[in-house]
Structure 1
Amino acid sequence: MDYFLDKERMPSLLAPFFTLSYPVATPNDPDCFPNATFYDIGYADICFVVSLIALLAVLRDGSRLLVLEPFANWKLTRDWRRRNENPKPFANGKSNGHAASANGSAKSLEQNGVGERLQLRTDSPEGRHIHRSTLRFAEQGWLTVYYCFSWSMGLYVNMNLPSDFWSGYPHIPLPGPVKLYYMMQTAFYFHLLLVINAEAPRKDHWQMMTHHVISCALIIASYAYNFTRVGCLIMVLMDWCDIVLPLAKMLRYLSLQVACDITFGIFLISWVATRHILFIKVIISAYSDAPRLIPFDWIPERGYYLTHDVYVIFVSLLVSLEIIQSIWSYRIFAIAWRVVMGYGADDDRSDEDE
């Protein structure tokens, strides 16, 4: 990593966009990442975040257009063709010919001669449904890919940090992996704010916007005010469910309903454990342990930024996140009830095209 983050290898004007800024000497006896390069924080970090946002946009479109959409379109079109080329007979033993003719969807087929493969018309109801499912699959596929990477990196970072995330405040300078993890997550949440309106709208659009804005505020404030250790813990807690839920949606868009329901069950357990039990424990710790272990002092030259107002704002933002997640929990348990009743997991946000 140090090779790629070496400022000596590029022009000074470009360095902040492609390297971590503000390297400092390694502290004596660091309590984490003893072999890493350590960094201070500053406004030049914005340049690196901007570059990461651009990189995420390229990776998102590349993965969607080159891998995820072609795969989903191939899979769904193949399944449609198999259903129509191999129709099931009627119960009385008489063949129903092409299934599309029997159910009134013959306009979806194009067949120019005997032995030729059925072709799906893109302007037919089935064609539009496959196109919409393909786009949805790609959107969720990109989220699954990113969150797998970010959760793995977050797990690595947290395994190397002390379990007590309040003692030793202020936690500066930052080891390289912690700073890179923060830069990456900051870039991703701003990236989400940019693309949320590009995707087909959901019923909870404004809830999602509020969630992303609060998340951005917490990430930036915890970074600027040196509360990065609790921030790293919160981000890794959040990321796990964001792997499982998009994966369940991907399976649904591929019409793999049983696998979708099983994955949704795993998500349900994960959601309760991480977004409620563990996250509420973090909120309680921020409310009770932070003021007990950290003095209320505003000494910027020493990295102390905890005042009573800052404390109230942090706790309020965390509680706001929990309120939004509780609202989502109502919808999640409603879907779980549908699964129990045999209707299958179905996200009623996902087919809103208005």
Structure 2
Amino acid sequence: MDGANDAHKPYKRAKPRTENDGLFTYLCMQLCEHQIGISVNLLSLLFLTHVFFPRARQHTRPFFHLSYYNPDTEKYGCGTDDLSYVALWLVIFVGLRVAIMDYVLAPLARRGGITTKKGLVRFQEQAWLVCYCVCSWSLGVYITWHSEYFFNLHGMWEGWPFREITGMSKFYYLVQWAFWIAQILVVNIEEKRKDYAEMFTHHIFTIALLFLSYGFYHTRVGIVILCTMDLVDIVLPTAKLLKYLGYAKTCDIFFGLFVVVWLVTRQIFFPIVIYSVYKHAPIDIQSGCYFNDGTMVPASDSAKYDALGGNIAWLNLVKAYTDREGPVCWNPTIRYSFLGLLLSLQAIIFLWFCMIIKVVINVVRGNSADDVRSDDEGDDEEVDEKIDGVKTGYDAQNVSAAPLEEEVGVEALNFAARKSNINSAANVRRSKTQRTTRASGISIPGHGDHKELLGRIGCDKPS
């Protein structure tokens, strides 16, 4: 195949099957290779079943429409049928991600001067994250702006249980849920990185929190937390994209903005929400069992309270899925369980923030590091490997115009003294596995234990 035809061919992510590969590994490779086709086929099959088999519509309708609509209140309830809607968006995200990366973001990356396979994939991953998070964060801000709990901590709890929510809030919650499940697939079908275990665990906890908060009618606080977390996952990937494209000064600005946004959202706003769980929730929500008609049995009536399962945490946490019309009980054990999960998450966030502060201190002191290859997969890939029929190696004459295409983590965003064209060209000639940092003015540290983790802070967005 010639270069002209190859330029329109999406980059294949799966590797050929080897003798040592098991069946599960092979299936994962096939899923990775045919994500768009599998998604389109599943969506087509579901749509055609819904159209041509009327008797099946009672089962297929929840995939296409938000369930449990109440015309009297013009709001939506929560229940097991919502899992079908999550499944639909999971399939959509699997195919949509690859389609946008291959047919929209890859051409943009090439037009920006990125031509190596590694640089192209990195650009696609980060740009997709930006695209999604811009949409999700904007919708989350819009929902909270028009709600009773916009900068009103008591508004997250007053009136609980929130058995019915607006259609937009429900759509936002279920789509976010589907996105994070899709992230589980992403970290398994793509090349595994050094932080695979951490990211996989993070996504599992995120999905669990979404599942439990939805089942316990805590969607308000869930929306606030999701909206708070998403902003960082816009700024940091944007800084990486700017570095890949060689926009040094703008990248520096976004790195500084990233530190500020992280401090405000994850070290101030998020702890405030955790404090509200501890302080305001027990004030605004009385311990007891709440019925669908608005009545309640207080915990002080211990006989009825125990009979309704008031002291059983798990059955109440999944009440929306098991008995959406039945009573749901609030007790201190459930509150402390959520509080413990959130505090654990905050401890990890604070640890990451300490690492960020160390990077900032090093930057202020003017320290720099060598520019080395910093990602885990493909370390043996040469810089001048061809893609789309074009040689991607750097020469001394063109080195000043070529954008940097390294994997960028937080530790990679260190401001260093800019090197001259002569020194940069000399470095390229000395090694094919090293690239110039002159174009960005930012040095990349060595491959430390926390490097990959810092590169995906919060969520891979993510997560």
Q: TM-score scaled to structure 2, two decimals?
A: 0.58
State the alpha-carbon separation in 2 of the partners of residues 316 and 230 from structure 1. 15
8 Å CA contact 1:207–1:324 kept in 2: the answer is: no
Moved more, 341-350 or 62-71: 341-350
Change in Cα spacing, 1:154 to 1:255, as seen in structure 2 (3 Å) is: same
- Tell me if 1:50 matches 2:87: yes
8 Å CA contact 2:93–2:182 kept in 1: the answer is: yes
How far residue 345 of structure 1 moved from its aligned partner, in angstroms, is: 6.6
1:62 alignment counterpart: 99
State the alpha-carbon separation in 1 of the partners of residues 51 and 106 from structure 2. 41
Which of 264, 274, 280 does residue 283 from structure 1 map onto? 274
- Tell me if 1:184 matches 2:175: yes
State the alpha-carbon separation in 2 of the partners of residues 226 and 47 from structure 1. 18
Read off the aligned partner of 1:69 and give its amino acid letter.
A
Change in Cα spacing, 1:62 to 1:282, as seen in structure 2 (3 Å) is: same
How far residue 197 of structure 1 moved from its aligned partner, in angstroms, is: 2.8
How far residue 194 of structure 1 moved from its aligned partner, in angstroms, is: 1.2
How far residue 135 of structure 1 moved from its aligned partner, in angstroms, is: 0.3
- Tell me if 1:135 matches 2:121: yes
State the alpha-carbon separation in 2 of the partners of residues 316 and 248 from structure 1. 33
State the alpha-carbon separation in 2 of the partners of residues 345 and 211 from structure 1. 28
Change in Cα spacing, 1:161 to 1:26, as seen in structure 2 (3 Å) is: farther
Structure 1 consecutive aligned stretches of length 4 or more whose deviation exceeds 6 Å: 7-10
How far residue 25 of structure 1 moved from its aligned partner, in angstroms, is: 3.0
The answer for unaligned runs of 5 or more in structure 1 is 1-6, 28-36, 78-126
Q: How many residues align?
A: 286
1:205 alignment counterpart: 196
8 Å CA contact 1:247–1:263 kept in 2: the answer is: yes
Which of 343, 349, 352 does residue 452 from structure 2 map onto? 349
1:20 alignment counterpart: 66
State the alpha-carbon separation in 2 of the partners of residues 345 and 225 from structure 1. 47
1:147 alignment counterpart: 133
2:356 alignment counterpart: 332
How far residue 69 of structure 1 moved from its aligned partner, in angstroms, is: 1.7
State the alpha-carbon separation in 2 of the partners of residues 25 and 302 from structure 1. 20
Read off the aligned partner of 2:126 and give its amino acid letter.
Q
2:229 alignment counterpart: 238
Moved more, 266-275 or 248-257: 248-257
Moved more, 206-215 or 42-51: 206-215
Read off the aligned partner of 1:51 and give its amino acid letter.
L
8 Å CA contact 1:261–1:339 kept in 2: the answer is: no
Question: Alpha-carbon deviations, 1:193-224, whole Å to 9, x = none?
Answer: 11023344444333322222222121111111
Change in Cα spacing, 1:336 to 1:67, as seen in structure 2 (3 Å) is: farther
8 Å CA contact 1:202–1:350 kept in 2: the answer is: no
1:323 alignment counterpart: 347
Which of 236, 240, 244 does residue 253 from structure 1 map onto? 244
How far residue 168 of structure 1 moved from its aligned partner, in angstroms, is: 0.7
Which of 272, 277, 282 does residue 263 from structure 2 map onto? 272
State the alpha-carbon separation in 1 of the partners of residues 339 and 279 from structure 2. 10
Read off the aligned partner of 1:61 and give its amino acid letter.
V
Q: TM-score scaled to structure 1, two decimals?
A: 0.75
State the alpha-carbon separation in 1 of the partners of residues 82 and 168 from structure 2. 14
Which of 140, 154, 157 does residue 166 from structure 1 map onto? 157
8 Å CA contact 2:76–2:166 kept in 1: the answer is: yes
More helix by share: 1
Question: Alpha-carbon deviations, 1:80-110, whole Å to 9, x = none?
Answer: xxxxxxxxxxxxxxxxxxxxxxxxxxxxxxx
The RMSD of aligned alpha carbons is: 2.5
2:458 alignment counterpart: none
1:85-124 equivalences under 5 Å are none
Moved more, 205-214 or 224-233: 205-214
8 Å CA contact 1:225–1:306 kept in 2: the answer is: no
1:120 alignment counterpart: none
1:76 alignment counterpart: 113
How far residue 338 of structure 1 moved from its aligned partner, in angstroms, is: 4.5
Change in Cα spacing, 1:303 to 1:207, as seen in structure 2 (3 Å) is: farther
State the alpha-carbon separation in 2 of the partners of residues 217 and 331 from structure 1. 27
1:95 alignment counterpart: none
Read off the aligned partner of 1:206 and give its amino acid letter.
A
1:311 alignment counterpart: 335
Read off the aligned partner of 2:58 and give its amino acid letter.
S
The SS at the match of 2:246 is coil
State the alpha-carbon separation in 1 of the partners of residues 89 and 188 from structure 2. 20
Change in Cα spacing, 1:76 to 1:339, as seen in structure 2 (3 Å) is: farther
State the alpha-carbon separation in 2 of the partners of residues 162 and 64 from structure 1. 38
Change in Cα spacing, 1:140 to 1:161, as seen in structure 2 (3 Å) is: same
8 Å CA contact 2:278–2:339 kept in 1: the answer is: yes
Change in Cα spacing, 1:55 to 1:303, as seen in structure 2 (3 Å) is: farther
State the alpha-carbon separation in 2 of the partners of residues 203 and 327 from structure 1. 18
